[in-house]
A and B are shown apart, each in its own frame.
Chain A
Amino acid sequence: MTTDTIPGALALACRAVRPAWPRDAVGGVMPSWVASPASVEEASAVLQAAADHDLAVVARGGGTKLAWGSPPHRCDVVIDTLRLDRVIEHAAGDLVARVQAGVTTAHLAGVLGAAGQQLALDLPGTGGIGGAGRNGSPTIGGVLATGTAGPRRLRYGTPRDLVIGITVVRADGTVAQSGGKVVKNVAGYDLGKLFAGSYGTLGLIVEATFRLHPLPAATAFVTDDLYGAAAAAQAVAAAAGSDLAPSAVEIDRPARGGPVRVGVLLEGDPGGVAERAAAMRGTLGAGSVASRTEPGWWGAAPGGTGPGGAGPGGTLIRIAFWAAALRGVLEAIDIAAGAAGLDPAVAGSAAAGVLHASVRADAPPGAVAAFLTGLREALARAEPGEGPPRRGSAVVLHAPDDVRELVDLWGPVPGLDLMRAVKDQFDPGHLMAPGRFAGGI
């Protein structure tokens, strides 16, 4: 084989290349080849070969979020990262782990858990926003690329907050790294932040180093069922504003007019957690309950797999806002959904200002679009003062094709011109997941 033909060039670059199957399609776009590099050298060679032949590339880990984002404008090669599956280093004494992109979150949790440590992103759960999907366990590369995190984002943040070093392969095959393996490090630009949540549009993430946390000695959940946005928002504010150090404050509202479940997670010393759980019950009210086991809805996508849930075929919207706006956001969801004749399930990290709303797959596309428009109008309502022009967003993470055709998945994006300039620098040929991201990037 020679590098003159595309299959020849790919085969020389990487030992595991095969023609694509229908199930390899990305957002309905059928690639021609799937390459599974087993090393950074192979990944670099694949991208170089793709660039030489003007082939568009989409990276895929566990495939659990492949339906997120817009379909690519082009997709010739899928790079499957699952063979980049090594935990390169777990320096337990330094609370740091360096892993390849294809390591699954479940595998990593096992390795770290054996040393009493964790990557604090709530990843191994099932059915959750950051958890496993029908295709298997998410990978570290995919989690970073989509920027997903679960309930404890309130305390630990999202992948961008925990990544301390990253190795990427650029569209032309160049391997580059930034950061390192020490938590405190301000040498050079932090490309880990730039690549976190970039949906594979700037390059291929092949390796990342994370800050770890000790597993808590004990956990407790305090939950309460409340009626109405005002009562729920008040409970969330009381929990978040207490000095009881909650690691997460979540809500779950399966249906409009029904109860809003509020749940607070406390972590730490067993005696301390018990004391704080009692105090948190006092904060939330007499009806609240403390338990050591997590509620069934904890960290799950809104509506879960139940009748209100969007499921993989429905529309999933991520709503971000300033925490004090929680009541207004819940009311705006109800008003916009009511006007559109929908009843979305809502759940998420209320105190951290991130909720997810899900609409069933069989909802009329026009109604979903109207709901989204109504919601965005409410979020855009100007706040007095000199802060950011918008204090929130509603981003469609995934949606049925007929909904995608009607809506702008991303909505207004601050700094979009600069983002386009960044894309043009990193990927001038627009070969990396073209069209997957905000503003057609």
Chain B
Amino acid sequence: MIETLVPRMVQICGPGGVVSDPLELRTYECDGLTSHRAAPALVVLPESAEQVAAIVKACAAARVPFVARGSGTGLSGGALPRTDGVLIVMSKMRRIIAVEPASQRAIVEPGVTNLAVSTAARPFGYFYAPDPSSQVVCSVGGNVAENSGGAHCLKHGFTVHHVTGLEIVTPAGELTWLGDGTGAAPGYDLLGAFTGSEGTLGIVTKIVVKLTRIPQAVTTLLAAFETTGAGGVAVSAIIGAGIVPAAIEMMDALSIEAAEAAVHCQYPAGAGAVLIVELDGPEADVRRDSAAVRKLCEEAGCTEIREAADPAQRAVIWAGRKSAFAAVGRIAVAYIVQDGVVPRTALGRVLDRIAELSAASGIRVANVFHAGDGNLHPLVLYDDSSARECEAAEKLSGAILDLCIEHGGSITGEHGVGVDKSRYMPKMFSADDLETMQMLRCAFDPAGLCNPGKVFPTPRLCGEVPGVRRGVHPLVAAGQAEQF
């Protein structure tokens, strides 16, 4: 079936833009979530929006599923290929089309890396605010698909707050714009609904992003505590005082140990937890907030506090945090990066519970997280040569998500649902909720060809009449919502 598409794809992208050799295809068999693998039937590398439209049109006519891929750094398998489908790799579309500081806007192609936008804007005194840890390599198109956040989204918001226009190819192969770059376009906010739809509503070919003024001052504090509980008290006190830091990150003893071994970040020895608090904004406000944060940390029992006021010192503090995921690779054979969210005020209880679950299962968990917004990234460490440990780690990882749902949180704060968590969606949403979301899907992709099998567990076909479903909402059952 797919072979018949090859000549057409070569016509569209040229011979250099089509990959059909089985060995080469394997390069694309997974994204950042390596536990799911599937080699695509065909890979194409378009260089223009018109080529993407032609590719999608050809797929739609042949009823062949297609998946878009940016830099492949996603952590939920959102860009996992279909073995019976075409993988559309966007990495050749990496032009920064315009930087317009006077309008605080830039227009970029989807393959442009996140950091490249900030680099291009910096000479004008601006930056692109969403900063996922993978910002050196991850693409803006992928950020749009996943509604990516980052350490600084606590204050500055997510991708959806910084995108004001999208040129997309619809699943039927039509080029169209959502939004006009103003942020106040007439009509439904399809731009907002599209952002974070994990590649299931179409393929982005141009992006208008908002640029943010580089703040007058930035300062980074590192505070050490005996326990994560004490650190959590400090976080609540900071937020309670009306301070909105750019970032508040926490690491527990195990992740500090791992980071120390990997990058010698020289965090205070023996600390049970460290808190990284970054403040940005007008100088006087930063000065006052920094003094307040110091005082609140001391009151919460911090054992040591350091402040980095210049970029070099800041980089040293951040090195430990940024290396944490990779660093645990040195203290464990294998690990699962979990991504769940709880209300900030439930952090202490949830961390205690994770510690209990870890002790009971004998599986170690290193906690690194965006404490300011309750976004946990527990790293579940195990030995993948042991079937028992594999199973126990998988179970523990799932139990952590259950904990998040129980406490009124979410199964994913920034990594997305992808293929990894679609089975958890019914725990967070009712059949009616999912069916309603599916309506948006059917409006964009009635044929179900655009990144099928992601986000939703076994979706209904578009046009299928829903059955009568009046069960108890899962959040009601969990005591997290009222009966309606």
Closest to A268 in B: B285
Q: A419 and B181: CB pair below 8 A?
A: no
Q: B183 and A352: CB pair below 8 A?
A: yes
Among the listed stretches A18-26, A173-181, A222-230, A299-307, which one makes contact with chain B, having 4 or more residues with CB under 8 Å of it? Answer: A173-181
Residues on A with C-beta less than 8 A from B177 are 388-389, 414-415
Q: Does B345 contact A (CB under 8 A)?
A: yes
Q: B107 and A414: CB pair below 8 A?
A: no
Q: B184 and A354: CB pair below 8 A?
A: yes
What are the interface flags for A128-172 relative to B under an 8 Å C-beta threshold, 1 for contact and 0 otherwise?
000000000000000000010000000001101100000110100
Q: B412 and A395: CB pair below 8 A?
A: no
Closest to B157 in A: A161
CB distance from B129 to the nearest CB of A (A): 12
Q: Does A269 contact B (CB under 8 A)?
A: yes
Q: Does B447 contact A (CB under 8 A)?
A: no
Residues on A with C-beta less than 8 A from B196 are 186, 189-190
Closest to A40 in B: B484
Q: Does B190 contact A (CB under 8 A)?
A: yes
Q: Does A353 contact B (CB under 8 A)?
A: yes
Q: B443 and A276: CB pair below 8 A?
A: no
Q: What is the bound-complex CA distance between A266 and B184, given in angstroms? A: 23
Most chain A beta-carbon neighbours within 10 Å: one of B100, B101, B104: B104
CB distance from B125 to the nearest CB of A (A): 7
What are the interface flags for A115-133 relative to B under an 8 Å C-beta threshold, 1 for contact and 0 otherwise?
0100000000000000000
Closest to A179 in B: B410
Q: Does B318 contact A (CB under 8 A)?
A: no
Which residue of A187, A244, A425 is within 8 Å of B442 (Cβ)? A425
Residues on B with C-beta less than 8 A from A217 are 242
Residues on B with C-beta less than 8 A from A190 are 147, 160, 192-193, 195-196
Closest to A185 in B: B410
Q: A194 and B193: CB pair below 8 A?
A: yes
What are the interface flags for B185-224 relative to A under an 8 Å C-beta threshold, 1 for contact and 0 otherwise?
1111111110111000000001010000111100000000
Q: What is the bound-complex CA distance between A158 and B107, given in angstroms? A: 22
Which residue of A180, A186, A421 is within 8 Å of B414 (Cβ)? A186
Q: What is the bound-complex CA distance between A390 and B102, given in angstroms? A: 18
Q: Does A44 contact B (CB under 8 A)?
A: yes
Q: B410 and A180: CB pair below 8 A?
A: yes
Q: B413 and A318: CB pair below 8 A?
A: no
Residues on A with C-beta less than 8 A from B183 are 157-158, 320, 352-353
What are the interface flags for A188-230 relative to B under an 8 Å C-beta threshold, 1 for contact and 0 otherwise?
1111011011100010000000000111010000000000000
Q: What is the bound-complex CA distance between A190 and B163, given in angstroms? A: 15
Give the residues from 282 to 325 in chain B that come closer than 8 angstroms, CB to CB, to chain A.
282-285, 287-289
Among the listed stretches A88-96, A331-339, A358-366, which one makes contact with chain B, having 4 or more residues with CB under 8 Å of it? Answer: A88-96
Residues on A with C-beta less than 8 A from B153 are 184
Q: A241 and B213: CB pair below 8 A?
A: yes
Which residue of A91, A242, A352, A386 is within 8 Å of B345 (Cβ)? A91
Q: Does B146 contact A (CB under 8 A)?
A: yes
What are the interface flags for B342-377 relative to A under an 8 Å C-beta threshold, 1 for contact and 0 otherwise?
111100000000000000000000000010011100
Q: A388 and B180: CB pair below 8 A?
A: yes
Q: Does A106 contact B (CB under 8 A)?
A: no
Q: B192 and A194: CB pair below 8 A?
A: yes
Q: What is the bound-complex CA distance between A431 and B370, given in angstroms? A: 44
Which residue of A92, A320, A421 is within 8 Å of B185 (Cβ)? A320
CB distance from B339 to the nearest CB of A (A): 9
Q: What is the bound-complex CA distance between A275 and B286, given in angstroms? A: 13
Q: Does A385 contact B (CB under 8 A)?
A: yes
Q: What is the bound-complex CA distance between A389 and B242, given in angstroms? A: 42
Q: Does B432 contact A (CB under 8 A)?
A: yes
- Secondary structure class of chain B's binding surface, majority of residues: mixed
Answer whether A269 and B413 are a contact pair too, CB < 8 Å, given A94-B344, A353-B182.
no
Q: What is the bound-complex CA distance between A193 and B185, given in angstroms? A: 13
Residues on B with C-beta less than 8 A from A88 are 482
What are the interface flags for B139-166 relative to A under an 8 Å C-beta threshold, 1 for contact and 0 otherwise?
0000000110100010001101100010
Q: Does B448 contact A (CB under 8 A)?
A: no
Q: Does A64 contact B (CB under 8 A)?
A: no
Q: What is the bound-complex CA distance between A424 and B435, given in angstroms? A: 15
Among the listed stretches A53-61, A288-296, A321-329, which one makes contact with chain B, having 4 or more residues with CB under 8 Å of it? Answer: A321-329
Q: Does B276 contact A (CB under 8 A)?
A: no
Q: Does B471 contact A (CB under 8 A)?
A: no
Closest to A266 in B: B282
Q: What is the bound-complex CA distance between A238 and B444, given in angstroms? A: 42
Most chain A beta-carbon neighbours within 10 Å: one of B157, B186, B374, B412: B186
Q: A186 and B416: CB pair below 8 A?
A: yes
Give the residues from 386 to 424 in chain A that come closer than 8 angstroms, CB to CB, to chain B.
386-393, 395, 410-411, 413-419, 421-422, 424
Answer whether A272 and B285 are a contact pair too, CB < 8 Å, given A185-B413, A193-B193, A194-B190.
yes
Most chain A beta-carbon neighbours within 10 Å: one of B180, B191, B214: B180
CB distance from A427 to the nearest CB of B (A): 10
Q: A93 and B414: CB pair below 8 A?
A: no
Q: B432 and A175: CB pair below 8 A?
A: yes
Closest to A438 in B: B187
Q: What is the bound-complex CA distance between A244 and B215, given in angstroms? A: 8
Number of A interface residues in the complex (CB < 8 A): 97
Residues on B with C-beta less than 8 A from A92 are 240
Q: Does B281 contact A (CB under 8 A)?
A: yes
Most chain B beta-carbon neighbours within 10 Å: one of A96, A180, A241: A180
What are the interface flags for B407-419 relative to A under an 8 Å C-beta threshold, 1 for contact and 0 otherwise?
0111111111100
Which residue of B125, B345, B416, B429 is within 8 Å of A94 (Cβ)? B345
Q: Does A4 contact B (CB under 8 A)?
A: no
Q: Does A237 contact B (CB under 8 A)?
A: yes
Answer whether A414 and B178 are a contact pair too, CB < 8 Å, given A269-B285, A323-B102.
yes
Answer whether A393 and B193 are a contact pair too, CB < 8 Å, given A178-B433, A388-B181.
no
Q: A189 and B193: CB pair below 8 A?
A: yes
CB distance from A164 to the nearest CB of B (A): 10
Q: A188 and B437: CB pair below 8 A?
A: yes
Q: Does B236 contact A (CB under 8 A)?
A: yes
Q: A353 and B184: CB pair below 8 A?
A: yes
Residues on A with C-beta less than 8 A from B214 are 243
Q: Does A32 contact B (CB under 8 A)?
A: no
Q: Does B98 contact A (CB under 8 A)?
A: yes
Q: Does B176 contact A (CB under 8 A)?
A: yes
CB distance from B142 to the nearest CB of A (A): 13
Q: What is the bound-complex CA distance between A143 and B393, given in angstroms? A: 46
CB distance from A439 to the nearest CB of B (A): 8
Q: What is the bound-complex CA distance between A275 and B437, given in angstroms? A: 48
Q: Does A52 contact B (CB under 8 A)?
A: no
Most chain B beta-carbon neighbours within 10 Å: one of A189, A269, A425: A189
Which residue of B188, B436, B439 is within 8 Å of A198 (Cβ)? B188
Q: A184 and B425: CB pair below 8 A?
A: no
Q: B341 and A422: CB pair below 8 A?
A: no
Q: Does A231 contact B (CB under 8 A)?
A: no
Most chain B beta-carbon neighbours within 10 Å: one of A241, A242, A272: A272
What are the interface flags for A84-108 relative to B under an 8 Å C-beta threshold, 1 for contact and 0 otherwise?
0000100111111000000000000
Q: A187 and B425: CB pair below 8 A?
A: yes
Q: What is the bound-complex CA distance between A91 and B409, given in angstroms? A: 13
Answer whether A438 and B186 are a contact pair too, CB < 8 Å, given A91-B345, A188-B425, A421-B443.
yes
Which residue of B125, B188, B282 is within 8 Å of A422 (Cβ)? B188
Residues on A with C-beta less than 8 A from B193 are 189-191, 193-194
Q: A323 and B104: CB pair below 8 A?
A: yes
Q: Does B254 contact A (CB under 8 A)?
A: no
Query: Can you report 5 residue pairs joining A to B where beta carbons are below 8 Å apart?
Result: A189-B197, A193-B193, A322-B181, A386-B107, A418-B190
For the A-B complex with A96-B343, A418-B444 known, give 9 more contacts whose Cβ atoms are closer than 8 Å.
A93-B239, A182-B342, A185-B341, A189-B196, A245-B215, A268-B281, A268-B285, A393-B180, A417-B176
Q: Which residues of A contact B (CB under 8 A)?
A: 39-41, 44, 88, 91-96, 116, 147, 157-158, 160-161, 167-168, 170, 174-178, 180-191, 193-194, 196-198, 202, 213-215, 217, 237, 240-245, 268-269, 271-272, 275-276, 318, 320-325, 352-354, 385-393, 395, 410-411, 413-419, 421-422, 424-426, 437-439
